[in-house]
Structure 1
Amino acid sequence: MGKSLPHSVMPEPSAGSASTPPIAGPAANAPGERLYFNRELSWLAFNERVLAEARNASYPLLERLRFLSISGSNLDEFMMIRVAGLVGQVQRGIEKPAIDGRNPAQQLVAIREKIAKLSSRQQEVWRELREALAAAGIHIADEKRVRPAAHKWLKAFFREEILPVVTPQALDPAHPFPFVQNEGLGLLFSLTRKSDGKELMEMVLIPAALPRFVRVPDTHCEAGEAVFISIASLIQRYAKKLFPGFAINGDGMFRVLRDSDIEIEEEAEDLVRTFRSAIQRRRRGQVIQLEIEDDFDPRAEEMLLEQLGVQEAAVIKTDGIIGIERLGEIAAADRPDLKFEPYSPRYPERIREHDGDAFSAIREKDIVIHHPYESFEVVVDFIRQAAADPDVVAIKQTLYRAGSQSAVINALIEAAEAGKSVTAVVELKARFDEEQNLKWASKLERAGVQVIYGFTDWKTHAKAAMVVRREEDGFRTYCHFGTGNYHPATARIYTDLSFFTANPKLGRDAAQMMNFVTGYVEPGELELIAVAPLNLRETLYERIDTEIANACEGKPAAIWMKCNQITDPGMIDRLYQASRAGVAIELVVRGICCLRPGVAGMSDNIRVRSIVGRFLEHSRIYAFANGEKMPGVRAKLFISSADLMERNLDRRVEALIPIRNRTVHDQILQQVLLANMLDTEQSWWLHPDGSYSLVAADLDKSAKRFNCHHYFMTNPSLSGRGGALEAGAVPRLSLARERQR
């Protein structure tokens, strides 16, 4: 059977040909580790790419520091959830292998080896950035390096702001070992009482309410300088004020991470009460990792290990900073010259042309909004207008993550207070947002919103809003479907799609999906939407099988997919089958990818790239050639809330939305998806051995670069521009055949 080679994509005029990942040897009848990459190791590889952004010399310094902070935050969550889960499996004697054949204990060995290297690399980056920041006038001082002019102020700050809120505790048989909360930071002091020479150990836990760093007022610094000092360093510096009458022999800092996953029994009678209890248990979960300074007192270390119940393998020693994620406080410093140039998203001209009437604009034609390049305010305004419109009779919306300051929540409350029938599906199982969602649910209920918590064992991850409006010809349903959350903060940094439509078929399907979640009423026959866990997997399988059939008949056959993760073995195997049939497959997978591309006889027609840059790639788009060259007008195109993971396909409520409007179809396929595949500046190739390399590193020096984020920041969309397109068409992107491999 002949194989069609994948095409390379580039903007016109030609931007040069991007390099192609190598092809590995045959993998016929290979064992698990040859067929798939390990999920956890693939995630660690993603975080290495995030960390690489902190070394990107083309980025402003504080943005590089922000990426370092993000890599630390990512790693903390990985430890608290994924590693904690594996530790639990080992403790319970579970031997179930992962997709690559490793059992939990084997995975932990490989993970800890990778984490040790990653942590060491983070400290290297920190030292580089700290030096560069100092040269730019931003100093992160320790207890030994504070300018004399600031001493008096720091001493007063310690006396007035820190001393009243910290509590030293003796560690001896008369005092029980204090509880150290998750992500808790503390100091151990070795002391000698001057009156009798007795030695003792004291612990000082740093309250979570305190910032990690304090900035010295500019009046106490040299002109143009910013000086930060950590709270821990201040406590060390002025410890004599904390321990009068004692000689301080030494001190050391430590940090604790605990198991933070929440397990809910399917038989839970009161889901809200169960979650409130589970959140409290999370704070007291098993210790998963202990970070300490590398010169930590051995006796103190031994005591911590014993009292916290920490295994030696879960100890990270460092000669750098502890708690890298908190460097984000410094990255927020007011130095615009050391940050990305501010970007203001556009508001869709289509809606402005209708005098701000979203319903009128949507009724005229479907609209897609590309966040963060186009404003999330249009989504908020959609709900606000519904709240104020006397002809609107009902609003239904799913809420997975809404943020701490949610304009969408407030708009729903306004609608309920205005007498509308408002239903909100609040997902309590949104990891680390459970407590915030409980608060929102209570506030919504007090305002008269009907709050539904959905399934106990399935997360409701679909992003959908329905507005039912009374019009001259009867009731009309307006829908919003998103690939991302109703979260105004993340909408400024996550790339996502918002699709607005008044298509009656999509409206009827959305109503059935909502009833499925609120009343467990399984949909009858859905007209357009596919819903997980009912038929979303099968719909994607059918589209892949159609491409396989077309390839076998000699027709053009191609699959383009953009998502955050691919881990599901069934989906991976289907794509392997398509590759063997000659289907050209281009995947843009930001994070975890268990699929092994470029293996002869198995996946040599599959290319995988990951894009990491200024914005977090978050949209999920699935496109199938449908018998014509890609990107074609007949291509079957879908947007979704679902990644290609078993949990999304089988254990969550997700939506797969077909895009049939020609303008919206063009924007998503021939702008958004194509530009991602054209990118050469932020893209990484995934190789058959699991390693990643920058696409730009293999380009000819004469080749033009293409940055998809920059393209979207400078070129308005097709769908939202309306008559404004007459003032200047959006530059179109096109395909060019790749040079032979």
Structure 2
Amino acid sequence: PFPRVLNKALCIGALLEGQGQSMMGVATVPRVLPRILRIPSQDDELHFVTLAGIMDLQASELFRGYQVLGSAPFRVTRNSELYVNEEDADNLLEEIEEQVSKQSQADAVRLEIAAGAPDQLVSLLQQQFGLDDSLVFRANGPVNLHRVMALYGLISRPALKDAPFAPVERDLSQEPETFFAAIRAGDILLHHPYESFSTVIDFIRMAANDPKVLAIKQTIYRTGDDSEVGQALIDAAERGKEVTVLVELKARGDEAANIEWAKRLEDSGIHVIYGIMGLKTHCKLSMLVRRDQDSLRRYAHLGTGNYNHTTARLYTDLGLITAEPTITSEVAEVFNLLTAHNRASQFEQLLVAPSGLMQGMLDRIERESEHARAGRPAAVIAKMNGLMDPAIIKALYAASQAGVEIDLIVRGICCLRAGLDGISENIRVYSIIGRFLEHSRVFYFANGGDEEVWLGSADWMNRNLRARVEVVFPILDPDLKRRVYRELLAFALADRAKSRQMCPDGTYIRRQPECDSPGHSMQELLMRTALGEDIDVLEN
């Protein structure tokens, strides 16, 4: 029988012949052993070999008693989509847990194999896994490139590496009265990883330890196995707080971790909910209710990224801690929507998907067109991970044709074409790939001079706008609004080191520094700004 090949498990496939029979052999590359090994050398050069490469070269030792006609490393990706009928499920957690347990043997959707693999071996694997030619990818190098990251730790060459950077800690009191008074005095904007995520964790821990905090509500999408946020919520429940946590069980790739967290939270007495049927909950919200001296008051954290202290050191994200009643009351309404499944909720300050975010963005893009036609300041600057939604793209084309200046900073996929005569000549698209993964979503509208800045969890993609619960929120404080523009958007548009610009044919070219200025790197400038340097690219 053909052996079990787990999802994304690196294997060695071999064509074998013995005892008058031809067959195929498969050996799994052990995950418990290092995948990159250093070869001893007598000189100063460093030489490495992959474990899979060694096994491939020694295939005859793996399959003793057979003649090896050919071999190659390969791996199979299996379908990770969950097929859950939420309406008929008696227990959603148990249903998803059962589905996750079966994922390792789900249908194959991709075969990756070394470029030099024998055609017969590829054909036999295609037959075994039911894959046509379009789902076969030949790799000119290691089949699992992710493992090459291990080289970073194996090579001691400081000159080839980024200088260490420690996120800057916000100088906020650890005493509850002073901590919450600072929030009441003014909104706190955090930019990770330049500023430490510990402030967000402190916000939740403070709520857990402060006897004046009565209730905490939290969303969890991807939080990690050793979540400090999850532990703080458990501590709060054990101290008698009323804690409600929405755990998104269908967060792709994190289903198993979220299932375990849901169980731990429930075992601690926390009220765990799973959101609205048919929708993923992707918004990033934390809210607490505190008995202040003058009244009961809500405090909230709204963010663009996950409550994950590990990725907060690697991904760029923004977060807002606020006690502004017009914002916090609507955050409470979002939680009511999630717990009571009331889709009729109305929002004035927040843009919430799937009910109002799409239309809110379309209205603002059209408003810029009206300003442009009237000769008033009109511009859109949007930063996101991906842009695919047809309605948004159509609106941007129309705005460009109306004379709106549009700059889009899209790290990943972008289905809009920039710079097409008569269609998008006023649109510029940039992609910035740097030391940190660009993950924040920022939306700026010139609005005839009355500028608006919005942050949120949603990209301009169909899934975010139509199939998820997302929250995009305004920055109301004028100083913070200017900070987002000057420290993030202006730095991004001035980047000449890590930025690439889309050409009209959809290809990208690296942006070159101006002849009389250095090549700015947005992320380098932000690290320097976080450490106290006063940098303003708008004046350069």
TM-score (norm: length of structure 2): 0.92
Matched, 1:397 2:218: yes
Instruction: Give 1:333 deviation, angstroms.
Output: 2.5
On the 8 A contact 2:13/2:72 being kept in 1, the answer is yes
Residues 194-213 of structure 1: pairs in structure 2 closer than 5 A = 198=20, 201=23, 203-206=25-28, 209-211=31-33, 213=35
In the alignment, which residue of structure 1 is the partner of 2:496? 680
Q: Structure 1 residue 734 and structure 2 residue 538: aligned? A: yes
Residue by residue over 1:78-123, the C-alpha shift from the partner in whole angstroms, topping out at 9 and shown as x without a partner, is xxxxxxxxxxxxxxxxxxxxxxxxxxxxxxxxxxxxxxxxxxxxxx
Larger helix percent: 1
Structure 1 473/573 Cα, relative in aligned 2: closer, same or farther at 3 Å? same
**How far off is 1:733 after superposition?**
3.6
Question: What letter is aligned with 1:732?
Answer: D
SS at match of 2:448: coil
Aligned partner of 2:322 in structure 1 is 501
More divergent stretch after superposition (307-316 vs 685-694): 307-316
Match of residue 161 from structure 2: 339
Which residue does the alignment assign to 2:457? 641
The answer to whether 1:255 aligns with 2:75 is: yes
Alignment equivalent of 2:5, drawn from 144, 164, 180: 180
* Structure-2 change in CA distance of 1:521 and 1:330 (3 Å): same
Q: What residue number does 1:267 align with?
A: 87
What residue number does 1:106 align with?
A: none
Question: 1:452 corresponds to which residue?
Answer: 273
Q: Aligned pair 1:691/2:507, yes or no?
A: yes
Q: Secondary structure, in 3 states, of the residue corresponding to 1:669?
A: helix
Number of the residue aligned with 1:158 = none
Q: Using the TM superposition, give the Cα deviation of residue 200 of structure 1 relative to its aligned residue in structure 2, in angstroms.
A: 5.3
Structure 1 gap segments, 5+ residues each: 1-175, 629-633, 718-727, 737-741
- Provide the rounded CA distance (Å) in 2 between the counterparts of 1:268 and 1:530: 31
The answer for the alignment partner of 2:200 in structure 1 is: 379
Indicate yes or no: 2:256 matched with 1:435.
Answer: yes
The question of 1:565 aligning with 2:386 is answered yes
Give identity over the alignment, percent.
Answer: 38
Distance 1:259 1:322, change over 3 A: same
Equivalent position amino acid for 2:385 in 1: N
Q: Does 1:712 align with 2:526?
A: yes
CA–CA distance in 1 between the matches of 2:465 and 2:188? 27
Task: Give the secondary-structure state (helix, strand or coil) at the position aligned to 1:713.
Answer: helix
Q: Which has the higher contact order (CA 8 A, sep 6+)?
A: 1
C-alpha deviations, 1:508-527, integer Å up to 9, x for none?
10000001011112354424
Deviation at 1:358, TM superposition (A): 3.3
Contact 1:641 1:656 in 2 (8 A): yes
Q: Which AA in structure 1 matches 2:2?
A: F
User: Pairwise mapping of residues 104-183 of structure 1 onto structure 2 (< 5 A)?
Assistant: 176-183=1-8
**Alpha-carbon spacing, 1:602–1:200, altered in 2? closer, same or farther (3 Å):** closer
Letter in 2 for 1:564: N
Residue 321 (1) aligns with residue 142 (2): yes
The equivalent residue for 1:112 is none
Pick aligned residue for 2:361 from 514, 537, 540? 540
Distance 2:141 2:526 in 1: 38
Quote the residue 1:473 is aligned against: 294
8 Å contact from structure 2 (residues 79, 108) kept in 1: yes
Q: For 1:586, which of 407, 410, 415 is the aligned residue? A: 407
Amino acid in structure 1 at the alignment position of 2:8: E
1:494 offset after TM fit, Å?
0.9
Q: Is the 1:214–1:229 Cα contact (8 Å) retained in structure 2?
A: yes
Matches within 5 A, 1:653-668: 653-668=469-484
Listed one character per residue, the Cα deviations across residues 146-168 of structure 1 (whole Å, up to 9, x for unaligned) are xxxxxxxxxxxxxxxxxxxxxxx
Work out whether residues 36 and 147 of structure 2, in 8 Å CA contact, stay in contact via their aligned partners in 1. Answer: no
TM-fit CA distance, 1:239: 5.5
Q: Distance in 2 between matches of 1:297 and 1:541?
A: 53
Deviation at 1:316, TM superposition (A): 3.0
Letter in 1 for 2:72: G
Structural RMSD (CA): 2.6
Deviation at 1:298, TM superposition (A): 4.6
Contact 1:478 1:507 in 2 (8 A): yes
Taking the aligned partners of 1:558 and 1:490, their CA distance within structure 2 comes to 32
Mapped partners of 2:249, 2:314: distance in 1 = 24
2:485 to 653, 656, 669: 669
* One-letter identity of the residue aligned with 2:522: C
- Partner of 1:715, secondary structure, is helix
| Aligned residue among 619, 624, 633 for 2:445 | 624
2:374 to 553, 561, 567: 553
**Correspondence list, 1:277-426, <5 A:** 277-318=98-139, 320-333=141-154, 335=156, 337=158, 338-349=160-171, 351-352=172-173, 357-426=178-247
Shift in alpha-carbon separation, 1:645–1:293, aligned structure 2, 3 A = closer
SS of the equivalent of 1:688 reads coil
Q: The residue matched to 1:332 in structure 2 has which SS?
A: helix
Using a 3 Å threshold, how does the CA distance of structure 1 residues 356 and 605 change in structure 2: closer, same or farther?
Answer: farther
8 Å CA contact 1:370, 1:496 repeated in 2: yes
- Alignment partners' CA distance in 2, 1:411 and 1:224: 49
Q: Deviations over 1:365-410 (max 9, x none)?
A: 1110100100011111111111111111111011111012211111
Larger-gyration structure (1/2): 1
Per-residue CA deviations over 1:35-59 (Å, capped at 9, x if unaligned) read xxxxxxxxxxxxxxxxxxxxxxxxx
d(CA) in 1 for partners of 2:174, 2:79: 52
Give the direction of change, closer, same or farther, for the CA distance of 1:297–1:708 in structure 2 (3 Å limit): closer
Aligned residue for 2:447, secondary structure, equals coil
Question: After superposition, where does 1:476-487 map in structure 2 within 5 Å?
Answer: 476-487=297-308
Shift of 1:198: 4.7
Contact in 1 for aligned 2:337/2:345 (Cα 8 Å): no
CA 1:574 to 1:231, structure 2 compared with 1: closer, same or farther past 3 Å?
Answer: same
Q: Aligned equivalents of 2:342 and 2:69: distance in 1?
A: 68
Distance 2:86 2:130 in 1: 30
Could you tell me whether the CA contact under 8 Å between 1:426 and 1:452 is conserved in 2?
yes
1:252–1:567: structure 2 CA closer, same or farther, 3 Å change rule? closer
Check the 8 A contact 1:675/1:708 in 2, yes or no. yes
The amino acid that maps onto 1:331 is Y
Q: Which amino acid is the alignment partner of residue 676 of structure 1?
A: A
Change (3 A) 1:246 1:376: same
Q: Is the 8 A contact 2:249 2:259 kept in 1?
A: yes
Query: In the alignment, does 2:427 pair up with 1:602?
Result: no
Distance apart, 1:305 and its partner CA: 2.6
Check whether the contact 1:188–1:201 (CA below 8 A) recurs between aligned residues.
no
Query: What CA distance in whole angstroms lies between the structure 2 residues aligned with 1:391 and 1:409?
Result: 21
Q: Which secondary structure state, in structure 1, belongs to the residue aligned with residue 296 of structure 2?
A: strand
- Looking at structure 1, the residues matched to 333 and 59 of structure 2 have their Cα atoms a distance apart, in angstroms, of 64
The alpha-carbon deviation at position 285 of structure 1 amounts to: 2.6
* C-alpha contact (below 8 Å) 2:418/2:502 kept by paired residues: yes
Q: Determine helix, strand or coil for the equivalent of 1:579.
A: helix
In 2 relative to 1, CA 302–641 (structure 1 residues): closer, same or farther, beyond 3 Å? closer
Superposed CA offset, 1:598-651 (max 9, x none): 1222222111111111111111111111212xxxxx311111111111221122
CA distance in 1, matches of 2:308, 2:80: 23
The whole-number CA distance in structure 2 between the counterparts of 1:412 and 1:324 is 37
Counterpart Cα distance in 2 of 1:317 and 1:565: 27
